[in-house]
C-alpha cells in the first residue's frame, strides 16, 4: 500500500507524546495510513524509552575541560593581539623607511631588495615579522583544541 | 560561556536524551559517551549565551548530529548516511499485538544513519519537521519526505519481525 505524508502528522505525534490522542484526531488517525504509522512509530519509541535509564557521567569533568579550553583560547587571543600589534608597528616602520630612505625618491618595490641588503632598518622588521609568525605557529600548537575526529 | 548552574540544569535535563539519541543513531558502542561529551563541550565553548533552553537543546542535538556526520565521513561510523532505497511497502499488522514482542533497536539498525536520526528526533524527542531540518541541516520539505520514508521502513521492519516471531512461537 502506497501512502503520502499527511499535513497532520506533527499534530498526531505531539498528541501521542502527550498521551491524549482522542476525539477528532483519533478518528483521523484511524482513516489516515500516514498518521497511523506516525502514531505507531511514536508510541513504540516512547514505550521503548520507558524503563531504560542511561548512566551518564557527572557534568564536572565537561565543565572543567570547557573552562580550561576557554581560558586557553582567551590567552591565545591575547597573545595574538600582542603579536598583531608588534607586526603592525614593524610594518608601519618598514613602510615609513621605504618612503624616507633615501629621501626624496619614489617608492619602488624593485628597490626594496637592494635596500634590504644595505640596511638593518629593513632587516629588523623582517626578522620581527618572521619571529611573530613563528610565535603564532608555536602558540597554536600548544593551545588545546576540541577533539578532532 | 553559559553559567555553571544553567549548564547543570541543562545537563541534568538532556544528558540521557542526547546519549540515547547518539546511541540510537550510531549503535551502542564506546564512541557514544565520547560524542555526547564532545557535544556538551562544544555547547559550553561555542554556543551563544542568548539562546533559550529549548534552543540550547536543539544546539546539542545539532552538534551531536554533526559529530556523527564527521565520524561517518572519516569512516569511524559504519553504515549508509542516506537511504539507498526509495519505496517501502507496509503490510497491515495490528501494532497493539506486536508492541511487546519487537526489538525497536533492531528495527532502527535496519535504517540508514540519517533515517535513524530523523526517526529518533521526530518520534522519540517530538521535534517538529522544521526543527529536525535545522538539526540535521536539510530543508524542511526534504525532512518531511525523508522522515516519511524512514518511518515506512521502520514500521515495515517491525511488522516483519513481529510476523516472524509469531510464526516461530
The pLDDT tens digits for B9-44 are 999 999 988 998 998 888 877 788 889 999 999 999
- Answer yes or no: do A41 and B70 touch at CB < 8 A: no
Q: What cell numbers appear for B116 in the block?
A: 535513524
The residue extents of the domains of chain A are: 9-49, 71-142
By Cβ distance, the residue of B70, B89, B152 closest to A149 is B70
CA gap A126, B9 in Å, rounded: 52
pLDDT the model gives residue B32: 87
- The pLDDT of A74-94, averaged and rounded, is 82
The pLDDT tens digits for A55-67 are 777 888 889 988 9
- Specify whether the CB–CB gap between B14 and B60 falls below 8 A: yes
| SS (HEC) of B148-164 | HHHHHHHHHHHHHHHHH
- Answer yes or no: do B41 and A13 touch at CB < 8 A: no
- Specify whether the CB–CB gap between B86 and B153 falls below 8 A: no
Q: pTM of the full predicted structure?
A: 0.71
- Answer yes or no: do B119 and A45 touch at CB < 8 A: yes
Residue of chain B with shortest Cα separation from A55 = B16
- pLDDT by residue for chain B (169 residues), tens only, comes to 888 899 999 999 999 889 989 988 888 777 888 899 999 999 999 888 888 888 999 999 999 999 999 988 888 777 666 665 544 444 444 555 445 556 788 888 889 999 999 999 999 999 999 999 999 999 999 999 999 999 999 998 888 766 655 655 5
Amino acid at each position: 500500500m502506497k501512502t503520502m505524508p499527511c499535513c497532520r502528522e506533527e499534530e498526531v505525534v505531539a498528541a501521542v507524546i502527550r498521551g491524549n490522542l482522542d476525539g477528532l484526531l483519533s478518528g483521523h488517525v484511524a482513516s489516515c495510513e500516514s498518521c497511523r504509522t506516525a502514531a505507531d512509530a511514536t508510541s513504540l519509541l516512547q514505550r521503548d524509552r520507558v524503563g531504560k535509564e542511561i548512566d551518564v557521567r557527572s557534568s564536572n569533568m565537561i565543565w572543567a575541560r570547557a573552562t580550561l579550553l576557554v581560558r586557553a583560547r582567551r590567552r591565545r587571543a591575547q597573545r595574538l593581539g600582542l603579536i598583531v600589534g608588534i607586526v603592525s608597528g614593524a610594518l608601519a616602520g618598514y613602510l615609513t623607511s621605504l618612503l624616507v630612505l633615501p629621501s626624496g625618491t619614489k617608492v619602488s618595490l624593485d628597490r626594496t631588495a637592494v635596500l634590504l641588503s644595505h640596511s638593518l632598518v629593513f632587516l629588523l622588521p623582517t626578522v620581527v615579522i618572521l619571529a611573530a609568525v613563528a610565535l603564532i605557529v608555536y602558540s597554536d600548537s600548544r593551545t588545546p583544541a576540541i577533539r578532532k575526529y | 560561556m553559559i553559567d555553571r548552574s544553567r549548564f547543570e540544569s541543562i545537563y541534568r535535563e538532556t544528558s540521557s536524551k542526547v546519549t540515547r539519541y547518539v546511541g540510537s543513531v550510531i549503535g551502542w558502542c564506546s564512541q557514544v559517551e565520547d560524542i555526547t561529551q564532545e557535544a556538551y563541550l562544544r555547547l559550553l565553548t561555542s554556543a551563544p549565551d542568548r539562546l533559550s533552553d529549548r534552543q540550547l537543546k536543539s544546539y546539542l542535538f545539532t552538534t551531536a548530529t554533526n559529530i556523527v556526520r564527521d565520524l561517518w565521513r572519516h569512516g569511524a561510523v559504519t553504515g549508509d548516511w542516506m537511504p539507498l532505497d526509495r519505496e517501502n511497502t507496509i503490510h497491515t499488522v495490528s501494532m497493539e499485538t506486536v508492541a511487546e514482542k519487537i526489538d525497536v533497536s533492531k528495527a532502527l539498525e535496519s535504517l540508514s544513519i540519517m533515517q535513524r536520526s530523523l526517526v529518533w528526533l521526530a518520534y522519540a524527542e517530538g521535534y517538529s519537521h522544521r526543527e529536525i531540518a535545522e538539526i540535521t541541516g536539510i530543508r524542511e520539505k526534504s525532512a518531511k519526505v525523508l522522515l516519511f520514508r524512514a518511518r515506512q521502513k521502520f514500521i515495515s521492519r517491525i511488522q516483519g519481525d513481529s510476523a516472524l516471531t509469531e510464526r516461530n512461537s
